[in-house]
Chains A and B, each alone.
Chain A
């Protein structure tokens, strides 16, 4: 495993140049190589969704993407979205409604919820539940999460209509 791949990419708006093992997964790359510990490894099989991050605007499983494949990519994590404020309303709704308990699933859940709000904004609870069904939460019972997403969707849709 001495063979390495040089990659240059953008992570949360910052340029990153690294040499990675071909087997390095994106989630390990973010957590171990870059110290971005906000994204978590839960199942490492692409099922639980805790490692969900954005690559070139689309949400992906950080445990299924190889870092070596990301030369030239734009990667965004919960740290980046927090700093630029684009999901501030969603985060505050999660706080206000206690839509996080242990919080381990939360960054991934927010990534997927933000994806729904950005691309298919809806207040339909069934649609919200469907969209979030690839992100497991073992603590909350999901309801507070659905409530928070529904509330933000309603506010964003009202805002869009007003403008």
Chain B
């Protein structure tokens, strides 16, 4: 696909993370494009920089070289049009579920009644009607991620960036969340860039799977996923699914001769502890 008309275009992008002497390169001249409404999965070994790329697309990390564009516009800082979902929820602990979901419209100046009605609608879509007045800590991990997704989708983002969002969930919850994501995606049609290291998850969700290699990352293979939609859990045990999975696993195996690196985050390298400590 040509960069013209692409929703997301990553053009020969290099990223560096870390401070001072510990600074290192995680992406070296990486390019990829995603069409409007496309669901692209990035798979690759730990520490290869796929999460870092998401952070840059969200606008939290500057690029060292190359350009990142969304609908032809270069990315400059975070924007509600580009929603980011982390592996562990980042809900505001002091806000109720309803207030968390309504946060985006509140920042846009939407009045209380309208934004709460909107938030209720989204909570219903993610299957959490009746939990509006709970605090995040009162919910299970899967429910917290549902709220997180609702909170991002309320802004009607053109681009949804997901960093192993179901990675910390148990297998059954994860499968339900994958089905939920597909049903939300088919209704709202955001472009999704989804990072995972679970090949089942990638093949189940994606239109295209990009297989990345470690340090500095490049794309070793692009797999078009042919399975018809809507997809159901039964797909995971079909013969043609297994064949594709075997092929993908062998591709992943080629890239992982090097030992796995520390996991990077969309906000760069894990932060050192603050230098200040107080006796009080």
- Tell whether A and B belong to one assembly: no
A positions within 8 Å CB-CB of B: none
B positions within 8 Å CB-CB of A: none
